[in-house]
Structure 1
């Protein structure tokens, strides 16, 4: 079991003026601790789970580029980019740039998008669900083509392009892994099987059923189910002094037994570097044995 540190809450004690150095310190500590992934949200307003909309929120790809410059090995991604926020050509170029400048450490995290409040607040068009999923499939096809050899035109349901030129290409071959977020059985998990390299599904009581649905979709499209990395979001809470470490490891063991290979989670108490040091000694080595 691999762990990812998800930076979902940036209302930190030292305030916005210190976010740069504080983020750099947290990223370096996570890198050195052995976290496999470092992720940020792709939102413009804070979401209810972590605080009111007025709390701090940074633009995702600017932040990931900054974090790339302060880390050496950890993989970088959003969980996840709403497809409605960026034209797929811009999104492909952003992740390509991140991959090249980080030395091949980028992933594309993408989903259909859901936050109508922030879209309407900032004036982004928020299409009906059917159209958002059509846009998601367009983007997945478009980006995979842009990350392949050649520069042929593209025609989708909602976007067309005359020349998908992308120079330089990403460093990772055949392309940066594509993680698709969401648990929808008819579309999202089918898209994972057809276009994705990883999924991020909610670890609820129906997790086993969701994975079985994904496996069936893989069989339907001739995809090897084992080629897809299965991840879940999870609060990585070990308590202020590590008193909940055993409880977290038990939960990670349960998820591993169901086939989950990585958890992407907020660590309550970050930006405390001492907490991340406890993960380095007490959690990550034990999780790696699961």
Structure 2
């Protein structure tokens, strides 16, 4: 099993002036410590479930471009891109740019978006859930087309592109992996089976995750997809890391049902120090799970 580091708390000592060096040091610690994935959120406002809408939040892809210059090995992505935040053609170009400048380390994490307040606050259209899922499917199709030899038109229900020229193409072939976030059984996991290279689930318990994976496998069977080709990732609470042996024991259970990578959000006030300590303590043993 591999480790992912999720950076989501920008309320840190030193205020705005300290954010760049803190983000850089944390990403460098993840990179040097052997983490497999480094992710940020995709929000305009901080989540109200976590803090307040007035707490600091940096734009995700700009931040990942900065992180790309500070790291060498770790994969980079957002957990996850809100489909409503960027036009699909622009999103494909942004992720391509990240892949080129990181020398082939970009991941397109994407989901249907959910934070209504930030949409309304900044004037971004916020369609109904069914339409957001329709836009999600078309966005993935457009990205796939732009990462191929087909530079022709795209004519969907929601998006109409006259040309899908994308030069240069991504370093990764046939394009950056697509990670679809969420565990919705009727729509999200079906989209994973149809289009995803990876899924991301929120940890509940082993039985709950087993059920989600069984649903995903059933969708794969329906569309003729090889279930084993999908990377299964899990987001867990960082408090679990306090007891290394207990954490690794629990990860053995998740690995046994097919989880490939476990991610966690790093805590304040010293995210870089926490990541350095945890990667040293966890990564060598987690790789044996």
Asked whether the 8 Å contact 1:178–1:198 carries over to 2, the reply is yes
User: What is the TM-score with the length of structure 2 in the denominator?
Assistant: 0.96
Q: Distance in 2 between matches of 1:150 and 1:68?
A: 28
Shift of 1:253: 1.9
Q: Distance in 2 between matches of 1:237 and 1:202?
A: 15
Specify the alignment match of 1:154 in structure 2: 154
Specify the alignment match of 2:163 in structure 1: 163
1:280 corresponds to 2:272: no
**2:215 paired residue among 205, 213, 216:** 213
Shift of 1:236: 2.8
Secondary structure at 2:202 match in 1: coil
Q: Distance in 1 between matches of 2:271 and 2:195?
A: 38
Shift of 1:72: 0.6
List per-residue Cα deviations over 1:39-82 (Å, max 9, x = no partner).
Answer: 00000111133211111100000000000000010100000011
Specify the alignment match of 1:254 in structure 2: 253
List per-residue Cα deviations over 1:197-225 (Å, max 9, x = no partner).
Answer: 00001222421111011001111111110
Shift of 1:118: 1.0
Specify the alignment match of 2:87 in structure 1: 87
Asked whether the 8 Å contact 1:180–1:192 carries over to 2, the reply is yes
Shift of 1:139: 0.4
- Unpaired runs of 5+ residues, structure 1, are none
Secondary structure at 1:117 match in 2: helix
Asked whether the 8 Å contact 2:200–2:232 carries over to 1, the reply is yes
User: What is the TM-score with the length of structure 1 in the denominator?
Assistant: 0.95
Number of paired residues? 287
Aligned pair in 2 of structure 1 residues 86, 126: CA closer, same or farther (>3 Å)? same
Q: Distance in 2 between matches of 1:277 and 1:269?
A: 14
Greater mean deviation of Cα atoms: 104-113 or 145-154: 145-154
- Unpaired runs of 5+ residues, structure 2, are none
Specify the alignment match of 2:101 in structure 1: 101
Asked whether the 8 Å contact 2:8–2:266 carries over to 1, the reply is no
Secondary structure at 1:14 match in 2: coil
Q: CA RMSD in A?
A: 1.3
Q: Distance in 1 between matches of 2:220 and 2:40?
A: 28
Q: Distance in 1 between matches of 2:120 and 2:250?
A: 38
Q: Distance in 1 between matches of 2:83 and 2:195?
A: 15
Asked whether the 8 Å contact 1:238–1:244 carries over to 2, the reply is yes
Aligned pair in 2 of structure 1 residues 196, 47: CA closer, same or farther (>3 Å)? same
